[in-house]
Amino acid sequence: MNKPTLNPPPCANCSQPAFLVPRRGRLRRGERVLELDTWSWQCPGDCRAPDAASQPYRFADPALLAWEEDLGAAAWLDHFGEPLPASQRPRRPEEQRRVRVPLLLSEAEADLLDRLRGERPRADFLRSLLAQAGAG
């Protein structure tokens, strides 16, 4: 597998240029699952992941996410001989989510977010805040 040709973004904590590290991932459509290599950026310094201090800080940026979407579509076509089917999640076309928003929080901000969201996933809670702001 070839690494993408991307400009390394700086680490949000120490500003050193990150480097790519592979990991195994899965692309699922219905009952079919394709295992493939995916990538993330890793800080070359001593920065640690906010949710697991024993692990190095890894992240994705919009350019890497877009490249991985193309990689997944090409791998699906190669493996199954057909284009990657659309996600089967039941959503109305006007609600398709296509914009990724990478966000770093301090530990205090993440703790506050987790207290406020309760049992809901973080993304659902943040979307509900946006809906409330749009309705107001």
Question: Is 101 or 37 the better-scoring residue by pLDDT?
Answer: 37
Amino acid at 36: L
Instruction: Tell me the per-residue pLDDT of 112-133, one tens digit each, with 9 for 90 and over.
Output: 888 888 888 888 888 888 888 8
The whole-number pLDDT of residue 55 equals: 78
Single pTM value for the model = 0.59
Mean pLDDT of 93-102: 71
Work out the number of other CB atoms within 10 angstroms of the CB of residue 27.
19
Domain-wise residue ranges, the chain: 8-89, 105-136
Question: Tokens in use for 20?
Answer: 């790519």
Q: How many residues does the chain have?
A: 136
Question: Is 60 or 92 the better-scoring residue by pLDDT?
Answer: 60
Find where tokens 């949710």 sit: 51
Share of the chain above pLDDT 90, in %: 24
Mean pLDDT of the chain: 83
pLDDT over 60 (residue 3): no
Cα–Cα distance between 106 and 92 in angstroms, integer? 34
The whole-number pLDDT of residue 91 equals: 57
